[in-house]
Chain A
């Protein structure tokens, strides 16, 4: 094997494969998006149609439900590959397990989280979000949501060999989501109450960058344990 190996091509291949699987039959992409749409729509029925109350809780509702939708899809992030044996193949790829974990996290964000961000303004309209806050809702989700995929991947990798490990994973992952949730909602609230959202966005970005440093290595380590 003297040909130089293109790790970038392998990385792209894994991302493309996972996005395709997420949106094929039984994939997590459709599931997370429908859950997000339905769960947010339930709030006006539950809370009542008073526009001031809905406007006050809009950012929090959208962020919390996006977080739960993400959690719902993380269950299958590595488990599907573990069950059908393709995790063995992924682990033996010349890309290495850290690269594989990062590729799968990237694919998860693109296939599952990005569609949620696209429909978020529509749901914000339903919840009567103040008009000045829309761009900050989208921006806060764009900056903060990578941390959801990254931190979630650690939990998914740790529980990969546990049957019905979804609940255990929630217990592991949800506490880690708290900083992202606080700063994400804080940014939108600041924007809708004429405050300054930038400090919140900066902290949100910091959480995402920190997760980016840790998560691929932590997830790869957990997956290596699961293969034993």
Chain B
């Protein structure tokens, strides 16, 4: 077990900042909420419905971005985003929406470049583009500011603020403080008291 006794709720316009040391379970909690991990115990509700174990139903309401960017190096940014958009919605992404969003992160001139020529900061911005392309209420962000310069951090914070103002919700795990008003949750206080070693040999 990674943590126990943890309880929180996130409503429209709420920003929740997950803090904690390395290994305290920030990423685990995000993956749990995203439906990628099953919980050993506890409940997870969205509105009135219990959603634990119903990943496919829930995934239409949230966007998750993890440590790895999930982009294919041989495909261009345009192709990567189109295939992601189609994967998540079944719809075709029009070029104008893509270009407007790419401009938002200063990637417009790279839109037809294969990802393998991107620097790590550019790749990270490309991974963050999904939050602008998909229109979903819950954003789950794992270390969204890593590798961003101050200009792009400001851009990201502006996009996050706009999302919150529009009634969206953000749960972000990050070591750096992000300049947004919201609550923060320190996972170090919820460390599991028992370590169930026998389950993992």
**Residues of chain A whose beta carbon lies under 8 Å from any beta carbon of chain B:** 1, 3, 5-10, 13-14, 16-17, 20-21, 24-27, 83-86, 88-96, 227-228
Q: Does B88 contact A (CB under 8 A)?
A: yes
Q: Please, how many angstroms separate the alpha-carbon atoms of A94 and B34 in the complex?
A: 13
The answer to whether B70 and A85 touch across the interface, beta carbons within 8 angstroms, is yes
Within the complex, what minimum Cβ distance (angstroms) separates B178 from chain A? Answer: 22
**Interface segment, B8-16, B54-62, B148-156, B187-195?**
B54-62
Given A5-B60, A85-B70, residue A24 in contact with residue B91 (CB < 8 A): no
Hey, which chain A residues are within 8 Å of B66, CB to CB?
A: 85, 88
The answer to whether A88 and B70 touch across the interface, beta carbons within 8 angstroms, is yes
The total of interchain contacts (Cβ-Cβ below 8 angstroms) comes to: 91
Contact with A along B53-88 (1 / 0, CB 8 A): 001100111101011111111110001000110111
Q: Does B38 contact A (CB under 8 A)?
A: yes
Within the complex, what minimum Cβ distance (angstroms) separates B91 from chain A? Answer: 7
The answer to whether B68 and A85 touch across the interface, beta carbons within 8 angstroms, is yes
The answer to whether B74 and A25 touch across the interface, beta carbons within 8 angstroms, is yes
Given A25-B74, A228-B38, residue A94 in contact with residue B67 (CB < 8 A): no
Hey, which chain B residues are within 8 Å of A25, CB to CB?
A: 74
Hey, which chain A residues are within 8 Å of B36, CB to CB?
A: 88, 91-92, 227-228
Q: Which residue of B lies closest to A17 (CB)?
A: B83
Q: Please, how many angstroms separate the alpha-carbon atoms of A1 and B61 in the complex?
A: 8
Q: Does B90 contact A (CB under 8 A)?
A: yes
Additional A-B contacts beyond A84-B69, A85-B66, A93-B59 (12; CB < 8 A): A5-B60, A13-B90, A16-B83, A20-B75, A21-B75, A84-B70, A85-B69, A88-B64, A88-B70, A89-B87, A92-B64, A93-B56
- Interface size, chain B (Cβ < 8 Å): 32
Q: List 21 A-B contacts (CB under 8 A).
A: A5-B60, A6-B90, A9-B86, A9-B91, A10-B87, A13-B83, A13-B86, A13-B87, A13-B90, A14-B87, A17-B87, A20-B75, A20-B79, A25-B74, A83-B68, A88-B66, A94-B59, A94-B60, A94-B90, A95-B56, A227-B37
Q: Does B25 contact A (CB under 8 A)?
A: no
Given A84-B69, A228-B38, residue A90 in contact with residue B87 (CB < 8 A): yes
Given A91-B36, A92-B64, residue A86 in contact with residue B74 (CB < 8 A): no
The answer to whether B72 and A21 touch across the interface, beta carbons within 8 angstroms, is yes
Q: Please, how many angstroms separate the alpha-carbon atoms of A16 and B86 in the complex?
A: 11
Q: Which residue of B lies closest to A228 (CB)?
A: B37
Residue with the highest number of chain B CB atoms closer than 10 Å, among A13, A16, A227: A13
Q: Please, how many angstroms separate the alpha-carbon atoms of A5 and B56 in the complex?
A: 12
Q: Which residue of B lies closest to A26 (CB)?
A: B74
Given A92-B59, A94-B59, A227-B37, residue A86 in contact with residue B89 (CB < 8 A): no
The answer to whether A91 and B55 touch across the interface, beta carbons within 8 angstroms, is yes
Q: Please, how many angstroms separate the alpha-carbon atoms of A85 and B88 in the complex?
A: 15
The answer to whether B71 and A84 touch across the interface, beta carbons within 8 angstroms, is yes
The answer to whether A92 and B34 touch across the interface, beta carbons within 8 angstroms, is yes
